Amino acid sequence: MNESRNVLEAPGATAGRAVGLVFRRQATAALRDPGPHFVLPALPALLMTVVFTALFDRIGDAPGYDAGGLDRSHAGGYDAFLIPGVVMLVALLGAGATSASLAADLRSGYFERLRLLGARPGTHLTGRLLFEAVRLLPGTAVVLGVGLVFGGDNRNGIVGLALVTMLVAMLGMAYSGVFYTVAIRTTDPQTPFQLQPLGLPLAFLSTALVPLGVMPGWAETIARWNPVSPVVDASRQALTGDPWAGELPGAVALLAGIIVATHALASLTLRRRLAGS
Amino acid sequence: MTAARTFLRDTGLIFTRTAREAKGNAGLAFVAPTLLSVFLIVLFQAAYGQIAEVSGWPTDRFIDWVAPGAVLLSVFVGAGYTAGGLLRDADSGYLDRIRLLPAHPATVLAGKIGFEAARAIIPATAVLLVAITLGADNRNGLPGGIAVISLAVALAIAWNGIFYYSALATRNHAAVLGLQPLFMPVVMFSTFWVPPDFMPGWYATVAIWNPFTPTLDATRSIMLGATDWAALGTGLGLLAMLALLTYGLAGRHYAAATAAD
Amino acid sequence: MVTINYAVGAGPAPGSGQGSPAIEVAHLTKRFGPAVAVDDVSFTVEQGEIFGYLGRNGSGKTTTVRMLATLTRPTSGQARICGADITDARRVRRLIGVTMQEAALDEAMTAGEHLRFVAGLSGLGRAAARRRAEEVLEVVGLSRDAEVRIGAFSGGMKRRLDIASALISRPPVLFLDEPTTGLDPQSRRAVWEEIRTLQASGATVFLTTQYLEEADQLAGRLAIVDAGAIVAEGSPRKLKADHGRTTITVAHNGVAGQIESTLKGDLLADEHLATDGSGRTVITLSSGTGGERALELLARIQGAGISPTHLAVTETSLEDVFIRLTGTAIGVGASGSDGASGSDGASGSDGASGSDGAPDGTGGEDRR
């Protein structure tokens, strides 16, 4: 009898518990179907890590390459340069898987049912976002591990690795907001696949793979403005430079801002969609 | 109508229906493969183009080396799409309805495979044109271009055999979809990026033994003007073997599935 | 306002069944551009009733449910659920449980996980959510399948799980939108049992359906809707009485016209006598539930010494009522019966009897 009174008086679950429930639901589904959630996102990044570290360190031999700021005196050369950048591909080519279930819930009647339960609709975005961060961790670990085996530099030890992992997770969260917005508008469960190619220009037209000086003019201009670049720079500093230098707080602040912005956009899109009926 | 003409006509009907379905899903069927390959060409030339400046590089520009691979890549992306459609038809009972029609059972497979081949032409041609516009070599002109597209079509037919086999053997959507990323290691560990001389030892070994490499090398040789007939022969032979194996097995499963219970 | 304890074995909640109506609807209208989906609909549902909303596909049933369930905003009109205005969505949502036409479930979860998720979002703590999930599973008879993936459930099981989901917050009012559409007859009857059990616990059930038998069997009162508007309202019996026709069909070996002469002068103004194609006499009564009157007339026939070789007295079916009120049948296969209720169209309502089944809407006069 106590419980029946509580249900009428309590305005649905508290925000914290609701977010936790959404997170758990995503986690359960992901663990049941680990391929698309954990393995697939890491695969392109992993392959590119292997391929680029194996093949493209020769690019250091190209005339004019030094101008790009590549520290060739350091052991590992291009590989050391590459790893902190290519790991960002885990986020750029792997984020957004949770948008599929969001689209599916909206397309079926499931979201309508959840709407009636009292938790704010935004909860379903926040819970998913937090899971995105967690979801990318295994892939990040594998890419970093493989990359270091192939010759990356890890002079800052565990601190560097932890900071880079944090940056990947935050980048994943920031980027996922874009997926959510599209998923809400199209209710297409294929959204993660449809948007995946977008990650390529985001990755290539940044400082992730090659130094700025090596790119053609137009590419360099884009890379300077690409928000991924400062994140990559901070990642590079974390692994091979001074982790606490200015780039890190700047990158974290930038990512936090983007997370808030894309999340807000997604929430707004969701609210507009729900109000439309 | 003779049996052959009937067969062709029925195959054509299946072809048209599959085409109509694909139009409804144009993003996945046409746009994504094209976009991905074009992105790769542009972005790789931008990021890694300088590698062509390293002494010993066989072509003028990096794009000359990468473009043939990118054309073939467009075939891989979105592969298995019509095989998935076949499974959908099997699930929905549509396949049963077709079974009951007087058309020969092979028309379904033939129509879908025919469509898959035709579908490959669009992104491959688009990527080829973009690559040429960006300066990639195409020294054999129009006949060379046609040859390249034909190789892409041959690759499409052979590669999709894997998905048809999986679809008919497992009847499981997830199993078919799960095969799609297979192309990534196949493409990555080939001569897609750099010539064998530029590879570390182990990488070169993998690439040389990769059955995709002969087809890729043959395509590149056509575009660069000095057709490598040995590679062409090997490549086509391997593709034929793959097609015979996969479609042979798939066909047997299909016959078993569509025979009267 | 009380909540309902749906647990198996719990009786109706104290204090339920009395007091203000559970659902009050006044002039509710919904327009989508120029199209009118729900047209000025008004009705009241008392606590503890099963109220049926019977109509064809596209007659506005689902839109009405969505408005009452605060999922869609009405274009005009008002409604109250247990006294709470539907514009106060947060309050109303705590008072209702809803199942829509498509079961709203997560196929990747197990039944238990899905219910615990819903219970948690409804505000229950972990232990309470677990208990409540077990409770509602028991109510719908799915306790055994708590750890089974919903994707493996049959259609009937999914519907029952859908209903269970609606019961989580123990709402006093349930909206069930076509709960048995697409189910086989056995599953359908199982769901009907659920619904009766829910009513026995004290719930008020608003049920939309296109199955005449379902409306007939379950609803205490129902509204017949056509093109978004209510064309008739009342208990099934009253609707049949008011809008239907009872027919008596007699064949005998005696003199032709004997029955007619026997009953001449006895027939009331609304009653008709005619001969059908097989030479049988067909008498049409004015009420759909004219069993008593039929006995009177049969007594007269018997008194005249007529010995029937064929005799049938058929009270009207809900299908007949529906056809009379809306002009067409409700839909292919939608009569939902397996012959048990006799609503198989051959009961003499279209063509065989004196009435012409034409859409007169008033259900009163015959045009003969």
Residue whose structure tokens are 């390249």: B148
CA–CA gap between residue A15 and residue A17 (Å, rounded): 6
Whole-number pLDDT of residue C341? 36
Which chain A residues have a beta carbon less than 8 Å from that of C121?
Answer: 12-13, 18, 21, 114, 117-119
Q: What is the CA radius of gyration of chain A?
A: 21
Minimal-distance CA residue of chain C relative to A28: C109
Distances (CA, A) of C142 to A148, A257, C194: 52, 47, 12
Contact A212, A65 (CB under 8 A): no
The CA angle C237-C239-C242, to the nearest 5 degrees, is: 110
Residue type, A71: D
Which chain B residues have a beta carbon less than 8 Å from that of A48?
Answer: 188
Contact B126, B38 (CB under 8 A): yes
Contact A176, A254 (CB under 8 A): no
Closest approach of C276 to chain A, Cα-based (Å): 51
Contact C188, C209 (CB under 8 A): no
Low-confidence ranges of chain C (pLDDT < 50): 1, 332-368
pLDDT beyond 70 at B28: no
Q: Which of A55, A190, A218 to mutate against chain B (most B CBs within 10 Å)? A: A55
Interval A50-105: pLDDT, tens: 888 888 777 666 665 554 445 544 445 778 888 899 999 999 988 888 998 999 89
Whole-number pLDDT of residue C2? 56
Which chain B residues have a beta carbon less than 8 Å from that of A193?
Answer: 28, 32
**CB spacing of A4 vs C98 below 8 angstroms:** no
pLDDT beyond 50 at A268: yes
Closest approach of A40 to chain B, Cα-based (Å): 8
Q: Which of C109, C121, C132 to mutate against chain A (most A CBs within 10 Å)? A: C121
Minimal-distance CA residue of chain A relative to B27: A194
Which chain C residues have a beta carbon less than 8 Å from that of A189?
Answer: none
Distances (CA, A) of C95 to A22, A117, B71, C173: 23, 11, 60, 6
- Ranges A168-182, B16-30, C40-54: which has the least confidence: B16-30
CA–CA gap between residue A61 and residue A73 (Å, rounded): 13
Q: What separation, in Å, do the N-terminal and C-terminal C-alpha atoms of chain B show?
A: 30
Q: Assign C45 to helix, strand or coil.
A: strand
Reference C284, options C335, C275, A265; nearest CA is: C275
Band of residue A161 on the pLDDT scale cut at 50, 70, 90: very high
- Round the average pLDDT of chain A to a whole number and report it: 84
Contact C132, C112 (CB under 8 A): no
C-alpha C182 chain-centroid distance: 16
DSSP B130-171: HHHHTT---TTHHHHHHHHHHHHHHHHHHHHHHHHHHHHHH-
Do chains A and C have 3 or more beta-carbon pairs under 8 angstroms? yes
Reference B65, options B53, B75, B76, B77; nearest CA is: B53
- Ranges B8-17, B196-205, C106-115, C269-278: which has the least confidence: B8-17
CA–CA gap between residue B191 and residue C237 (Å, rounded): 82
Contact A228, A90 (CB under 8 A): no
Reference B241, options B211, B208, B201; nearest CA is: B211
The residues, any chain, with a CB within 8 Å of residue C311's CB and separated by 6 or more, are C248, C249, C250, C251, C298
Whole-number pLDDT of residue C14? 54
Band of residue B26 on the pLDDT scale cut at 50, 70, 90: low
Distances (CA, A) of B121 to B70, B82, B146, B214: 13, 15, 10, 20
Q: Chain A residues with CB-CB distance to C under 8 A?
A: 3-8, 10-13, 17-18, 21, 24-25, 28-29, 32-33, 105, 108-110, 112-119, 277
Q: Which of C68, C94, C102 to mutate against chain A (most A CBs within 10 Å)? A: C94
Band of residue A12 on the pLDDT scale cut at 50, 70, 90: low
**CB spacing of A51 vs B40 below 8 angstroms:** no
Provide the strand spans (E) within C86-147.
Answer: 96-99
Report residue C231: phi and psi, to 5°: -100, -15
* Domain hosting residue A197, numbered range: 2-276
**CB spacing of B44 vs A40 below 8 angstroms:** no
CA–CA gap between residue B207 and residue A28 (Å, rounded): 39
How does strand C84-85 pair with strand C23-32?
unpaired
The CA angle C149-C155-C160, to the nearest 5 degrees, is: 80
pLDDT beyond 80 at B13: no
Which chain A residues have a beta carbon less than 8 Å from that of C124?
Answer: 3, 6-7, 13
Reference A51, options A177, A143, A188; nearest CA is: A143
β-bridge mates for residue C29, sequence order: C76
β-bridge mates for residue C50, sequence order: C205
Whole-number pLDDT of residue A148? 85
DSSP A144-171: HHHHHHTT---TTHHHHHHHHHHHHHHH
Q: What is the DSSP-derived secondary structure letter of residue A116?
A: T
- Write the Ramachandran bin of A254: left for phi over 0, alpha for psi from -120 to 50, otherwise beta: alpha
**CB spacing of B50 vs A59 below 8 angstroms:** yes
CA–CA gap between residue C5 and residue A248 (Å, rounded): 56
Domain count for chain A? 1
Contact B190, B212 (CB under 8 A): yes
Which one has a higher pLDDT value, C309 or A154?
Answer: C309
Report residue C225: phi and psi, to 5°: -115, 145
Percent of chain B at pLDDT > 90 equals 26
Residue whose structure tokens are 């590989």: A79
Q: Which of A191, A196, A215, A232 to mutate against chain B (most B CBs within 10 Å)? A: A215
Which chain A residues have a beta carbon less than 8 Å from that of C98?
Answer: 113, 116
CA–CA gap between residue B261 and residue C293 (Å, rounded): 58
Residue type, A242: D
Neighbour-count burial of A251, counting CB atoms closer than 10 A to its CB (0-12 exposed, 13-18 middle, 19+ buried)? buried
Q: Which of A48, A65, A205 sits opposite B50 (nearest CB)?
A: A65
Neighbour-count burial of C367, counting CB atoms closer than 10 A to its CB (0-12 exposed, 13-18 middle, 19+ buried)? exposed
CA–CA gap between residue A21 and residue B198 (Å, rounded): 52
Q: What separation, in Å, do the N-terminal and C-terminal C-alpha atoms of chain C show?
A: 54
Q: What average pLDDT score do residues B112-138 get? A: 87
Neighbours of B140 (CB within 10 A): 18
Whole-number pLDDT of residue A27? 95
CB burial string C143-155: b at 16+ within 10 A, e below: eebbeebbeebee
CA–CA gap between residue C294 and residue B71 (Å, rounded): 85
Neighbours of C368 (CB within 10 A): 9
Interval B58-110: pLDDT, tens: 888 888 999 999 999 988 887 777 777 777 777 777 777 766 776 666 777 78
**CB spacing of A200 vs B43 below 8 angstroms:** yes
